[in-house]
Amino acid sequence: MSDISGKPQDLGDKAEQAAGKAQGVAEDVAGKAQGVANKAQGAASKVAGDVADKAQEVAGKAQQAMHRAEGTVRQAAEKTNWNPLAVLGRWGIRSSHAYAAGFLAIGATVVKWLLTLTHEPREQADRTGLFIGEWAPTLFALGVALKHEEERR
């Protein structure tokens, strides 16, 4: 350590020199800290870029796997060749039959409701009529599907 004894003028000069050296050291440390911060930022940017590139690569591979799976499912479906609508068509059931059955279900609903209305409580008659009435939309949908199958052949 340097000697701090002496004249006040010498002490002031020494203090000034020490302050200058301290400022130089502080500036040097600040510069080095800025350099480290810049390197850290560059490394973080590189890591983020690498992660983004890897994520894009993984997404591409996932999309390729999805397309392969779709192809496999499509091939399996083509090999199966079982179409229930085609089976109904081979049995002679046509779309007009399904439409007629839908209208019959509507009529049966009204008839069943009227018949059970006199023999059962109203709530039960309503439920029975609605149960049969729910067949009509299914039969109409089946008629539409059979119509598409007929047009396909």
- For the segment 22-52, what is each residue's pLDDT rounded down to a tens digit? 888 888 888 888 888 888 888 888 888 888 8
What pTM, to 2 d.p., does this model score? 0.45
pLDDT, tens only, 100-150:
999 999 998 888 888 887 777 778 777 877 888 889 999 999 999 999 989
Mention every residue, 6+ apart, whose C-beta is less than 8 A from residue 108. Answer: 132
User: Vertex 138, ends 103 and 74: CA angle to 5°?
Assistant: 140
Angstrom distance (rounded) from CA 115 to CA 121? 11
Q: Give pLDDT, residue 5.
A: 56
At position 22, the amino acid (one-letter code) is: A
pLDDT at 2 over 70: no
Q: Give pLDDT, residue 91.
A: 92
Work out the angle between the directed axes of helices 95-119 and 135-152 (0-180°, nearest 10): 170
pLDDT at 1 over 80: no
Please state the rounded mean pLDDT for residues 63-67. Answer: 87
Angstrom distance (rounded) from CA 148 to CA 93? 13
User: Which of 88, 80, 132, 78 is closest to 107 using CA atoms?
Assistant: 132
Instruction: Let me know: does 102 contact 145? Beta carbons within 8 Å.
Output: no
User: Which of 115, 109, 111, 102 is closest to 129 using CA atoms?
Assistant: 109
Both tokens of 35, joined, read: 């350099």
